[in-house]
Structure 1
Amino acid sequence: MAETSTEVPAVSTGTAREYFSEMGPSWVAGAIAAGPATMASLISAGALFDYALLWVVILSAFAGALAQYLAMRLGLLTERGIVTVVEESLGKWWAWILVLDVVIAAGVAQLVIMNTVAAVSSTITGVDARIWGVIWAVILAAGLAGRGYRFIELVAKLLVFGVVIAFLASLFVVPVDLGRAAQGLVPTLPTNSAVVAAGILGGAVHITLITMHSYTMRARGWTEEEYDLASFDIVASMLVAFGIYSVAIFLVTASVLSDPDLTTVGAAAALGPLVGPSAKWLFLLGLGGAAVSTLGGNTIVPPFLVADKLGWGTTVEDSRYRSLLAATAIVSALGAFIGGEVIGQLVLVLALGTVGTPFAIAVVLYLLNSGAVPRPNSTAANAGGVGLLFVSATLATNFVRGQLTGGIDLLSGLVLGFAVILAVATLLLAGKYVRAEVLA
C-alpha cells in the first residue's frame, strides 16, 4: 500500500453543538450495526462465556469506526458512489461483483431482520407476526419512497438514541459484577468462543456498512469541506453510541443469563423472573428499536448500489430509484412468513455478510491507494485497513468452517460457493494492485 501521503487536514470548523445537529450518515450505518444479528452474538457471548469476551465487544466498536473512516475517506475524496468509482478505476465487472456481493448479503439480511422485527412486534402486542410483516413493509415503502434518505436518517438517530438509553437503563436493574467485568478486559479466547467472537466483530465491520457510506454522505451533500464533521459523525455513532449499545447488552446478559440456547426474544423474556419485569420490558423495547432501525437502514443499501451501477440517480427525485426502493421495502414483508427460530437464520446472515466483507475492504483500500483519490492513505490508515482485512478474512474463514462442520448441504454449499468466488476476487484484486501500483 502507498505510504507517501497524509490524511486530509482539518478544513472545517464548528462547535460541538453544530456537529451534533448536522451529524447523520454514520448513524444510519450504526443503526444497521446495532441490530438483531449483532445482539444475537452479544447474547450468546454473555450467556456462554460470562464476562470473558468484554474485550472483543469493546474492540468491535473501534474496528467498526475504523472501517467507516476508510469508507468515509473514499466517499469524500471522490464525491461519488463507490460503484461508480470502482467501475471507472477497475472496470465494469469488478463493479458488478461488488453490487452482487452487497445485494446477496443485504437481501438475505433484509428477510431475516423483517422476521425478527415481526416476531418482536408480535411478542409485544400479541398480533400475528405475519400481519406485522406486512404493516412494517408498508411503513417502510411509504416512508422511504415518500420522504427519501432524510427520513431514514432521522429515524435512525432517534431509534439509536432510544435503544442506547433503553439498554443503559436496564443496567440499573441488573446486578453487574464489576470485578469480573474488569477481568473480561484482558484479551483471552475461551474454548469454542472463536465463532461467537467473530460474530461480534462481524456485526461492526460489515459489507453493507462499508459500501453504503459514500451514498449517505452524497445524500447529505457532504464534500471534503465536511471532513471534520464526517469524522465526528463516525466517532459519535460507531465508537460511542454503538459501543455503549454493545457493552450494555453484553453486561446485562453476562450478569444474569446462562442459557446457551437463548434467542434474542427469549433473552428478554428470561429477564423477567430473574431481575424483574422492568428489565424485561426495557430489554424488549431496546430489541424492538434496534430491529426496526436496522430494517430501515438495510433497506436502502441494495437500491443505492444497483441504481448507481445502472446510471440512475440515488435520490427519490429519480422515479426509477424511488420505485426500486419501494419494491425492496415491500418484498421484505416475505421475511415475516419465513417463520422458525431466528437465531439460526441470523447465523446465516452473519456468515454471508462476513464472507463478503473482505472483498469490500480490499476494494476500498485499493481505491484509497490508487489514482482514484487525490490523497492516498497514510501509513497508519493503511496499517489499520490491512489489520481489518486480516481480521475480516479470519472471521470469514471461521464462519465458513462452522457452516461446513455439519456436512455440505444446499445452504452451506451456497455459502461456500459465495465465499470461494469472493476469495478468488480478493486475491485477483491484490494481484492487480501489485502490478498496477507496486511494479509499475
Structure 2
Amino acid sequence: MGTEGVSHESTATRRQTVGRYLSKMGPAWLAGAIAAGPATMASVITAGAAFEYALLWVVIASAVLGTTAQYLSMRLGLLTEAGIVGVVEEHIGEFWAWVLVIDAVLASGLAQIVIMKTLADVSAAITGVDARLWGVAWAAILAIGLAVGGYSIAELGAKVIVSAVVLAFVASVFVVPIDPGAAATGLVPVIPDGLSGALIAAGVLGGAVHITLVTMHTYTLRARGWTREEYDLGLFDVGASMLVAFGIFSLATFLVAASVLHTPDLVAAELDAAAAAEALGPLAGEYAQWLFLLGLWGAAISTLGANTVVPPYLLADKFGWEADVSDARFKVAIVAVAAVGAVGAFLEGAFFPLLVLVLAFGLIGTPFALVVVLYLLNHPDAVPEPNPRLANVGGIILVGVAAVTAGSFVRDELTVVASDPLSTSGFVVTFAVVMTVATAGLIGKYVLAVRTRSD
C-alpha cells in the first residue's frame, strides 16, 4: 500500500507539473509560429509534390535540428539572462555584433516582404479585394496591434493560430492513402538532382533552422521575464513547441502532399496555392481550396506577427533601447518593419517559389548565428556553467548539416550566375561568400581565444 501510495502521489505530481508548464509555456511558440508558417508550408508541400517521399529525411531532420537550435538558444538566453546581441558585443566584440544584426535583419526583412505578399494574395483570393489594398491594411493592423499590445499579442496569436493549423493538417493524414513502404525509402539521406532539389531541401531545413528563430528566442525569454529558475520550463517549452507541434505539422503536411500531390515533372515554380490546396481534397472535398487558403492565411498572420518584432528586438539590444513598447523608439521600429512588409503586396508573380527561396536564403546566414551561440555557450566569462558535451556535439552537427544543405543550394545557384551574374542568384552567392568568410573568421577567433586561455 505504501509503495502504491507513493506511486500515485508521484504520478499526480508529474501531472501537476505538466499542467503548470502547459499554462506557462510561450516564448518558443513565437519561434514555432515562424517555423510553422507559409514559407515552411510551401517548402514542405513542394518537397512532397515534386519528389514524393524522397525528402522525408529532411523533414524529420528539420524538426530534430530545429529543436536542437532552439535548445541552444534557450540555454544562452536563460544562463546569461540577456539578449544575444548584447552578449556578443560584450564578450566577442562590437564588429561581430553588427555582423549578427545585419545578417538577422536582412533575413527577417526579406521574409517579412515575401510573407506579406502571401498574406495579401491569400486575402485577395478569399475576399476578392485587391491584394495591394490588403498589403497596406495588414501592415497597419500589424503596426497598431504590436505597437499597442507588444509581446503578449504576438504570443497569444501564435498559440491559437498555430494550434489550429497543426490540427488541420494532422486531421488530413488520416484520410489520405499514405504508402508506409514507399515513405520508408525517404529515410535514406539523398538530395534529388537539379536546382529545385537542392533549393527545396534548403527551404525545408531553413524553415526550422533559421537565424530569425535562433536570435529571437533570447528576447522572447526576456519578454516573459524568465531566468535560470525557469530552465526546466524552458526545456519543456522548446520540446512541446518545436519537436512536437512543429514536427507533427511539417511531417503531416509532407505526407499528405507526397501522397496526394506527387507529380514527377513538377518544379517549384509550377506549384501555386490552388494546386497545393488539392492536398486537403480527401478531407474537405469541394471545400479543399478554401480550407487550405484559410490555413495558409492563418499561418501567414501568426508568422508575420512573430517576425515583425525580430528586427526591433535586435536593434533595441544594439542601441540600448528598452525592448518593450513602453520605449517609443522600439515602438517606431515595429511600425517601420510592418510598413516595409507592405512592399510585398506590390510584387509580381506567384508567392510559393518566393517563399521557398526566402527560407533557403535565410539558411545561408544561419551557420554564422549557430557558431555565435556555441562560441558564447563555451565562453567562461559569458556562461560560467560549462556547456554539456552532448549539447556541443549536437550544435556542431547542426552547423555542419545547415552549412552542407545551404552549400548545396548555393552550388546550384552558381550555374545561374554563370549565365546571368546580375540575377537574384548573384546576390545569393555574394551573401553566401560574405557569411562563409565571417563564419570562418569567428571560428578562427574562438580557436585563438582557447589557445590564449590555455597558455
Structure-1-length-normalised TM-score: 0.93
Amino acid at match of 1:154: L
Out of 342, 349, 370, the position equivalent to 2:351 is: 342
Determine whether 1:222 maps to 2:235.
no
Who is 1:438 aligned against?
Answer: 451
CA contact (8 A) 2:316 2:330 kept: yes
Amino acid at match of 1:263: L
CA contact (8 A) 1:33 1:204 kept: yes
Who is 2:437 aligned against?
Answer: 424
Q: Deviations over 1:26-70 (max 9, x none)?
A: 010011011222122211211121122222211110100000000
CA contact (8 A) 1:166 1:285 kept: no
Out of 96, 119, 126, the position equivalent to 2:121 is: 119
Who is 2:200 aligned against?
Answer: 196
Determine whether 1:369 maps to 2:378.
yes
Instruction: Give 1:183 deviation, angstroms.
Output: 3.6
CA contact (8 A) 2:85 2:97 kept: yes
CA contact (8 A) 1:170 1:283 kept: no
Q: Deviations over 1:270-305 (max 9, x none)?
A: 447777224433322222211111111111111100
Out of 317, 326, 329, the position equivalent to 1:308 is: 317
CA contact (8 A) 1:74 1:214 kept: yes
Instruction: Give 1:338 deviation, angstroms.
Output: 1.1
CA contact (8 A) 1:351 1:400 kept: no
Who is 1:284 aligned against?
Answer: 293
Taking the TM superposition and a 5 Å limit, the aligned residue runs for 1:114-263 are: 114-192=116-194, 193-259=197-263, 260-261=266-267, 262-263=270-271
Q: 1:294 to 1:37 in 2, by over 3 A?
A: same
Which moved further from structure 2: 114-123 or 209-218?
Answer: 114-123
- The alignment partner of 1:375 has SS state of coil
Which moved further from structure 2: 101-110 or 186-195?
Answer: 186-195
Percent same amino acid at aligned positions?
A: 61
Structure-2-length-normalised TM-score: 0.90
Which moved further from structure 2: 152-161 or 403-412?
Answer: 403-412
Instruction: Give 1:264 deviation, angstroms.
Output: 4.8
Specify every segment of 5 or more residues in structure 1 that has no aligned partner in the other structure, as ranges.
1-12
Q: 1:102 to 1:49 in 2, by over 3 A?
A: same
Q: 1:258 to 1:18 in 2, by over 3 A?
A: same
CA contact (8 A) 1:167 1:283 kept: no
Who is 2:390 aligned against?
Answer: 380
Determine whether 1:102 maps to 2:104.
yes
| Counterpart Cα distance in 2 of 1:433 and 1:264 | 45
Amino acid at match of 1:416: V
Query: How many residues were matched structurally?
Result: 429
Q: 1:46 to 1:346 in 2, by over 3 A?
A: same
CA contact (8 A) 1:270 1:280 kept: yes
| Counterpart Cα distance in 1 of 2:433 and 2:279 | 41
| Counterpart Cα distance in 1 of 2:193 and 2:411 | 16
| Counterpart Cα distance in 2 of 1:352 and 1:161 | 27
Tell me which structure has the larger Cα radius of gyration: 2
Which moved further from structure 2: 259-268 or 47-56?
Answer: 259-268
Who is 2:5 aligned against?
Answer: none
Q: 1:185 to 1:396 in 2, by over 3 A?
A: closer
Amino acid at match of 1:253: A
CA contact (8 A) 1:173 1:279 kept: no
CA contact (8 A) 2:57 2:188 kept: yes
Taking the TM superposition and a 5 Å limit, the aligned residue runs for 1:384-403 are: 384-403=394-413
Specify every segment of 5 or more residues in structure 2 that has no aligned partner in the other structure, as ranges.
1-13
Instruction: Give 1:222 deviation, angstroms.
Output: 0.2
CA contact (8 A) 1:36 1:264 kept: no
Amino acid at match of 1:179: G
Out of 328, 336, 360, the position equivalent to 2:337 is: 328
Amino acid at match of 1:211: T
Who is 1:299 aligned against?
Answer: 308
| Counterpart Cα distance in 2 of 1:72 and 1:427 | 24
Who is 1:265 aligned against?
Answer: 273
Instruction: Give 1:402 deviation, angstroms.
Output: 2.6
| Counterpart Cα distance in 1 of 2:192 and 2:364 | 24
| Counterpart Cα distance in 1 of 2:81 and 2:139 | 32
| Counterpart Cα distance in 2 of 1:270 and 1:235 | 31
Q: 1:366 to 1:127 in 2, by over 3 A?
A: same
Who is 2:3 aligned against?
Answer: none
Out of 391, 411, 415, the position equivalent to 2:428 is: 415
